Structure 1
Amino acid sequence: MNNHAIHYIIRFLLGEDISEEIVAAIGYTNNSKHYDRYSIVIIPSGFFTNHIYGTASSLPELPLQEIEGTPLLFGSPLVEQIGDTLVIHADIIASTYFLITRYEEIIQRNVRDEHGRFPGKNSLPYRAGFLHRPIVDEYRILLRKWLRQYGLRIPEIPKEIQHIYLTHDLDSPTLYRTWKGVIRSIRDKRGIIQSIQGKCGPVENDPYYTFPWIFEQNNLLREQTGKDICRAILFVRSGGKCKQDKPHYSLRNTDISQLIQSALSNDMTIGLHSSYQAGIAPTLIKKEKTWLEKNVERSIRFNRHHFLASREPEDMTHLEAAGITDDFTMGYADVAGFRLGTSYPVHWINPVTRRLSSILLHPLTIMDCTLEEKKYMGLNYEEALAYSLNLIEQVKNTGGELTLLWHNTSAQENTDSYLRKLYSHLLNELAKK
Structure 2
Amino acid sequence: MLLYTELVSPRLEYITNFIQSIIGESITITTDEELFIQSTQVKISYSSEAICTQAYHIQPQGLLFENSIEPIDILITSCREQICFFASQNDSHGFDVWSAIFYLITRYEEYLPHEKDSYGRYAHTNSLAYRYQFLHLPLVNIWLQDLQQRLWTAQNGQRSTVNGQRFAFTPTYDIDIAFAHQHQSIVKNIGGFFKDLMRGDFEKVIERANVYSSTAKDPFDTYEWLDDIHKKYQLQPIYFFLLAAKRGIYDKNIPPKKKGMQQLLQQHYSKYLVGIHPSWQSGDNDVLVLQEKQALERITHAACTKSRQHYIRLSLPETYRKLVAAGITDDYSMGYGSINGFRASVASSFFWFDLEKNKATSLLIHPFCWMDANSYFEQQFSADEALLELKDYYNIVKQVGGNCIIILHNSFLTEQPQWLPWRKMYEAFLSMI
Following the alignment from structure 1 to structure 2, what is the Cα–Cα distance between the partners of residues 191 and 169? 24
- The 3-state SS of whatever aligns with 2:93 is strand
Cα distance, 1:381–1:236 mapped onto 2, change above 3 Å: closer
Distance 2:393 2:367 in 1: 12
1:409 shift after superposition: 0.4
Q: Compute the displacement of 1:140 (Å).
A: 0.7
Q: Is the 8 A contact 1:176 1:182 kept in 2?
A: no
Q: State the alpha-carbon separation in 1 of the partners of residues 214 and 29 from structure 2.
A: 61
My pick for the range that moved more, 253-262 or 165-174, is 253-262
CA-to-aligned-CA distance 1:23-62 (integer Å, 9 cap, x gap): 76334221x2x723972232111334659x5233x1424x
8 Å Cα contact 1:280-1:311 kept in structure 2: no
Q: Does 1:115 align with 2:114?
A: no
Q: Which residue of 1 aligns with 2:214?
A: 201
Q: Which runs of 5+ in 2 are unaligned?
A: 1-6, 31-42
- 1:394-433 correspondence runs (5 A): 394-417=396-419, 418-430=421-433
Structure 2: distance between partners of 1:297 and 1:2: 44
1:252/1:295 contact within 8 Å kept:
no
Aligned counterpart, 2:353 = 349
Separation (CA, whole Å) in 1 of partners of 2:25 and 2:267: 43
Structure 1 residues 194, 13: CA separation in 2 closer, same or farther (over 3 Å shift)? Answer: closer
Separation in structure 1 between the aligned mates of residue 27 and residue 174 of structure 2, nearest angstrom: 42
Separation in 2 of the partners of 1:2 and 1:215?
50
Counterpart CA distance in 2 for 1:195 and 1:130 is 45
Q: Identify the match of residue 189 of structure 2 among 181, 200, 212.
A: 181
User: Letter of the aligned partner of 1:9 in structure 2?
Assistant: I
Please tell me whether residue 26 in structure 1 is matched to residue 44 in structure 2: yes
C-alpha separation between the residues in 2 aligned to 1:388 and 1:197? 34
Judged with a 3 Å threshold, the aligned counterparts in structure 2 of structure 1 residues 142 and 407 are, in CA distance, closer, same or farther, namely same
**What TM-score do you get using the length of structure 2 for normalisation?**
0.85
**CA contact under 8 A between 2:170 and 2:405: conserved in structure 1?**
yes
Query: Could you tell me which residue of structure 2 aligns to residue 13 of structure 1?
Result: 19
Aligned residue type for 1:65: T
Moved more, 131-140 or 4-13: 4-13
Q: Is the 8 A contact 1:120 1:334 kept in 2?
A: yes
In 1, distance between residues paired with 2:108 and 2:245?
A: 28
Equivalent position of 1:170 in the other structure? 175
| Long gaps (5+) in structure 1 | 81-86, 223-229
Report matched runs for 1:323-342 at 5 Å. Answer: 323-342=327-346
So what's the TM-score if we normalise by structure 1?
0.85
For residue 60 of structure 1, the aligned residue among 74, 91, 111 is 74
SS at match of 1:88: coil
- Pair 1:272 & 2:244 matched: no
Q: 1:270 to 1:176 in 2, by over 3 A?
A: same
From 226, 234, 241, the equivalent of 2:239 is 234
Comparing 308-317 with 14-23, which one deviates more in the overlay? 14-23
Q: What is the rounded CA distance, in whole Å, between the counterparts of 1:349 and 1:37 in structure 2? A: 34
Task: Name which of 58, 82, 101 aligns with 1:42.
Answer: 58
Q: What is the count of residue pairs matched by the alignment?
A: 405
Counterpart-to-counterpart distance in 1, 2:265 and 2:258 = 11
Cα 1:104–1:412 change in 2 (3 A) is same
1:189 maps to a residue whose letter is F
Q: CA RMSD in A?
A: 2.8
* Per-residue Cα deviation, 1:368-398 (whole angstroms, up to 9, x for no partner): 011111xx11122332222211111110000
Matched position secondary structure for 2:373: helix
Q: Distance in 1 between matches of 2:218 and 2:400?
A: 41
SS state of the match for residue 275, structure 1?
coil
Task: For 2:267 and 2:381, locate their aligned partners in 1 and report how far apart those are by CA, in whole Å.
Answer: 33
State the 1:162 CA deviation.
2.3
Paired amino acid for 1:362:
H
Q: What SS does structure 2 have at the residue aligned with 1:343?
A: coil
The answer on whether the counterparts of 2:241 and 2:277 sit within 8 Å (CA) in structure 1 is yes
Provide the C-alpha distance between the structure 2 equivalents of 1:294 and 1:104, rounded to a whole number of angstroms. Answer: 38
User: 1:292 Cα deviation (Å)?
Assistant: 1.4
Shift of 1:306: 0.4
Counterpart residue number, 1:227:
none
Shift of residue 189, structure 1, vs aligned partner = 3.1
Output one character per residue of 1:392-431: Cα deviation in whole Å (capped at 9) or x when no partner. Answer: 111000000011111000001132343212211221222x
Contact 1:174 1:207 survives alignment (8 Å):
yes
Selected match of 2:232 from 209, 212, 220:
220
* AA at the equivalent of 1:55: E
- Quick check: 2:222–2:413 contact (8 Å CA) kept in 1? yes
**Secondary structure at 2:237 match in 1:** strand
Distance 2:135 2:310 in 1: 22
Per-residue deviation, 1:333: 1.3
Which amino acid is the alignment partner of residue 26 of structure 2? E
